[in-house]
Amino acid sequence: MLYLRVPAHAAVGETAGAARLLSKAWATRVLNGCLRRLQRESTTLLAEVDRDPAVALLHPRWWVKAFRQAWPDDWRAICDANNQPGPMTLRVNRRHGDREMYLERLDSPGARLCPHAPDGLTLETPCDIAELPGFKEGHVSIQDEAAQLAAVLLGPVIAPRPGARVLDACCAPGGKAAHLLELFDIDLQAIDSDDARLARVEDTLARLGLSASLAHGDATERDWWDGTAFDAILLDAPCSGSGVIRRHPDIKRLRRPSDIAKLAELQARLLDNLWPCWHRVAPCSTPPARYCRRKTPTRSRPSSSAPQASRSPRRTALPGGDPPAPDASFCRVPTVTTASSMPD
């Protein structure tokens, strides 16, 4: 009635008829009553609905509350951005040339360099991957701009160590692991607790001509570990996923407030288990850490047990065009950028 060109009386009749076809004759009066009222009072009813931010912005109330507390000046823009489709972003494999060279090969109107990810290109108009030059040969991959920054942020730790031993602790579907291998000469071990998703990692690396030691493993346990310390660990820890809603809009409905405490507990278990040598955490959450932080402290983590570990205390909302500081965690808001927050 509101968005299609179907006449109102036809929309009402067809909807009531559908109820009867579904053997829900009892619902026809309710549907008729609601739709007829909407037809008569649409302006008043829609204005009343729009006064409720959760309804107007198509987000559950608890999400709106969390965003509003975290970003008092930007929460509406965040919700609006969540309701928009994300751009198609490419990651150029440096082993086959830089992104400027690939941009020329691409010859796509509107394609542009990503402002923060040094290997990223954004397409104004999405296309089939079969149309991307060199995709099958591993010259390019699909990966959101923010996700590409995970490998970049690890660079200062592993770049000075050729052959560094690196762990990707929750590696599926493999985008960040592949990017690490494209950028650095490292000995990468990648684990995941889902065999089907681990197979996707293997396929991704095979397409790109890269290799890593892949193993089924639960990062909350250590039965997969041979006891040799890692120079760096990338832990893309399970989280609320609030930063990737536009890629996965069902998150808004599937996630529950009670999930946050459970996720925080899982994150704490992962960090406790990997603490002997962990460096970065890559969450996909827009609200600050307190929304996925366990309220009780984790067990003591003595610094002597992890000489290479570091914690980034700063949370930085990067202005457009400024690269992230190597030692800074960051959170982007949609009034500044269109980069999604760390999906793979």
Q: In the chain, where does DSSP find H-type helix?
A: 8-21, 28-50, 53-56, 61-70, 75-82, 99-106, 145-158, 175-183, 195-208, 251-254, 257-274
Question: Residue 120 sits in which domain range?
Answer: 85-142
Same domain? 160 vs 272: yes
Flag whether 189 is in a domain: yes
| Type and span of the H or E element at 221 | none
Flag whether 242 is in a domain: yes
| pLDDT value at residue 291 | 46
| pLDDT value at residue 68 | 94
Same domain? 100 vs 111: yes
| pLDDT value at residue 304 | 43
| pLDDT value at residue 196 | 96
Q: What angle do CA 243, 244, 248 make, to 5 degrees?
A: 145
Same domain? 168 vs 252: yes
From the CB of residue 196, how many other CB atoms can be counted at a distance below 10 Å?
Answer: 8
Closest CA to 221 of 270, 188, 265, 172: 270
Same domain? 63 vs 37: no
CATH classification of the domain holding 62: 1.10.287
Rounded to an integer, what distance in angstroms lies between the CA atom of residue 27 and that of residue 105? 58
Confirm if 293 and 265 have CB atoms less than 8 A apart. no
Q: What is the pLDDT along the chain (344 residues), one digit of tens a residue?
A: 887 888 998 999 999 999 999 999 999 999 999 999 999 999 998 888 889 999 999 999 999 999 999 999 999 999 999 999 889 999 999 999 999 999 999 988 889 999 999 999 999 999 999 999 999 999 999 999 999 999 999 999 899 899 999 999 999 999 999 999 999 999 999 999 999 999 999 999 999 999 999 999 999 999 999 988 898 999 999 999 998 999 999 999 999 999 999 999 999 999 889 886 554 445 566 665 544 444 444 444 544 444 444 454 444 434 344 444 443 444 455 444 555 554 44
Final residue belonging to a domain, choices 119, 142, 165: 142
CATH classification of the domain holding 240: 3.40.50.150
CA atoms within 13 A on the CB side of 291: 24
Active site (annotated) includes residue 292: yes
Helix (H, G, I), strand (E, B) or coil at 36: helix
Helix (H, G, I), strand (E, B) or coil at 327: coil
Strands 213-216 and 186-192: parallel
Same domain? 63 vs 116: no
Helix (H, G, I), strand (E, B) or coil at 144: coil
My answer on whether omega of the bond before 173 falls inside 30° of 0, hence cis, is yes
Same domain? 71 vs 34: no
Binding residues for S-adenosyl-L-methionine: 170-176, 192, 218, 236
Same domain? 179 vs 235: yes
Same domain? 190 vs 135: no
How many domains is the chain partitioned into structurally? 4
Flag whether 267 is in a domain: yes
| pLDDT value at residue 334 | 47
| pLDDT value at residue 301 | 52
The CA radius of gyration of the chain, in Å to the nearest whole number, is 24
Rounded to an integer, what distance in angstroms lies between the CA atom of residue 151 and that of residue 209? 18
Q: Which residues contact 246 (CB under 8 A, 6 or more apart)?
A: 81, 82, 83, 84, 85, 86, 340
Same domain? 74 vs 192: no
| pLDDT value at residue 306 | 45
Annotated active-site residue in 114, 239, 292, 331: 292
Rounded to an integer, what distance in angstroms lies between the CA atom of residue 278 and that of residue 234? 7
Binding residues: 170-176, 192, 218, 236
| pLDDT value at residue 180 | 98
Same domain? 59 vs 35: no
Same domain? 272 vs 156: yes
| pLDDT value at residue 325 | 43
